[in-house]
Amino acid sequence: IAQLQDRLKAKRFRPQEGDSLKLAYIRVYLQALQVQNTILKDTELDELKTELEELKEVLKCQSKQ
């Protein structure tokens, strides 16, 4: 990524041998990051749902007393 950023900062972008392969790897990397982000988001939502249910139970128990 740093190498690509350096090349983009140049006055003129000159394609090099292997650029298409590097771009393919970058695309795969980005897709993997998106999947990881989705998994983390789902995990966090599940944890929040569990915590909310626990809080509801505590409130029910307190209101009964």
Amino acid identity for residue 25 in this structure: Y
CA-CA distance, 13 to 3, in Å (whole number)? 12
Question: Does 65 score more than 80 pLDDT?
Answer: no
What digits encode the pLDDT tens for the residues 1-17?
A: 788 888 888 888 888 89
CA-CA distance, 15 to 23, in Å (whole number)? 12
Global pTM reads 0.62
Query: Is the dihedral angle over the CA atoms 15, 19, 24, 30 positive or is it negative?
Result: negative
Report the phi/psi class of residue 28: left, alpha or beta, with left for phi > 0 and alpha for psi in -120 to 50.
alpha
Which residues, other chains included, contact 7 with Cβ-Cβ below 8 Å and sequence gap of 6+?
13
